Amino acid sequence: GETRPLLERKYETISDIGQHIYYLLDHNIDEQLTLSPTLHETVRDSFSPFTDMVLPLLEQDEDDVQIIGLALFNDDKMVGKLKGDDSFYVVLIREKFDAGTIQTTIPGAPFKYISQDVPDDLNIALHSIYSNRKIQLVNEDTPEFDLNIKVSARLLEIHSSITTEEQEVVSKLEEEIEKEFSKEIMRIIKKTQELNSDIFGFGEVYKANVGT
């Protein structure tokens, strides 16, 4: 929607909408739930011929303002958006996590041998997520890149029918979480490709290896 009605509205629970939005963004950036939209970073990406902008997407929700996802750009035009939960994976690809948290779902079928009480959809929560990512150009003609993300985390919540005392269970959990992360990352990258929005800086990697 338009910015003016959002900023000029008189909110019952918000005395200063400007400060409210500032602290809303600041908190979510600190928790790595969204991307930092400082003037310096936005101008940098705006003028870069090899990286497109991505900004937090705000929406007026009754008597409040919320971050509902991310706005994707091609040059200076918004061409699409990602939902709020996708922000985790965008941060995972673009930056390093240093204390993130996520709730996700993996298939319960691989764990049915433990107990028939294991649900078909296994909800888990990961805490204290630390990550590191590396992007390498492997084929300059295609072009094709290798994206390697290393993640460590603490398992915070899981269904009571599953115990993590055995290494076999832990290894299977790691395998299924990796599959889920990979699936979501590929889905998001595919969407940005369809929108011709390089928010991850693959163009920068290509330029650094091949030149302009």
The per-residue DSSP string of 149-193 comes to EEEEEEEEE--TT----SHHHHHHHHHHHHHHHHHHHHHHHHHHH
Sequence-separated (6 or more) residues with CB below 8 Å from residue 59: 1, 65, 66, 68
Cα 192–97–210 angle (5° rounding)? 50
Do 72 and 82 form a contact (C-beta atoms < 8 A)? yes
Where the chain has pLDDT below 70, the residues are 212
Q: What is the pTM of this model?
A: 0.89
pLDDT the model gives residue 196: 96
DSSP label of 196? T
Per-residue tokens: 164: 């993590």
pLDDT the model gives residue 193: 96
